[in-house]
Amino acid sequence: MLTCITNEIKKAQKGDKDAMACLVEENQGLIWSIVKRFTGRGYDIEDLYQIGAIGFIKSIRNFDVNFEVRLSTYAVPYILGEIKRFLRDDGPIKVSRSLKDLNKRIVDIQKEYIATKGREPTLRRNF
């Protein structure tokens, strides 16, 4: 079985589209399991699957069959990275990570304020 998978990987790396499609199909469960972590973020799950499949294909292209590691183990960081990159970079305006982190802190503090005070925070004007 392992030799069969190794042969499929080698064929896919040489450009065999059928071998590549076979590997992606055989690993749909892996891709879906990772995609499900990102549901509820405002993106269609099918789109995220396609992006995850791109990450899986990149992992096949870079996989070294001489390493003693399974393709699925090697592919997980590629799939995760591709999806995270999409989520981070998608949008009309690119927002820096520091601003995103600051926004998250503000939202957390706002939720804490509402929980303790029972109302939304307001701006106080001192004239």
Quote the pTM value.
0.68
Give the lowest-confidence range in 3-7, 99-103, 121-125: 3-7
Predicted confidence at residue 4, as pLDDT, reads 59
- Number of domains present in the structure of the chain: 1
* pLDDT score, position 127: 59
Q: Is the pLDDT of residue 67 over 80?
A: yes
Mean pLDDT within 40-57: 93
11 domain residue, yes or no = yes
Q: CA 111, CA 127: separation in Å to the nearest integer?
A: 28
Which CATH number belongs to the domain containing residue 31 in this structure? 1.10.601.10
* Residue 38 burial (10 A CB sphere; 0-12, 13-18, 19+): middle
Q: What pLDDT was estimated at residue 1?
A: 45
Percentage of the chain beyond pLDDT 90 is: 59
- What range defines the domain where residue 94 resides? 2-117
Q: Is residue 28 part of a domain?
A: yes
**Least confident residue range of 17-26, 41-50, 116-125:** 116-125
The predicted model gives 5-19 an average pLDDT of: 87
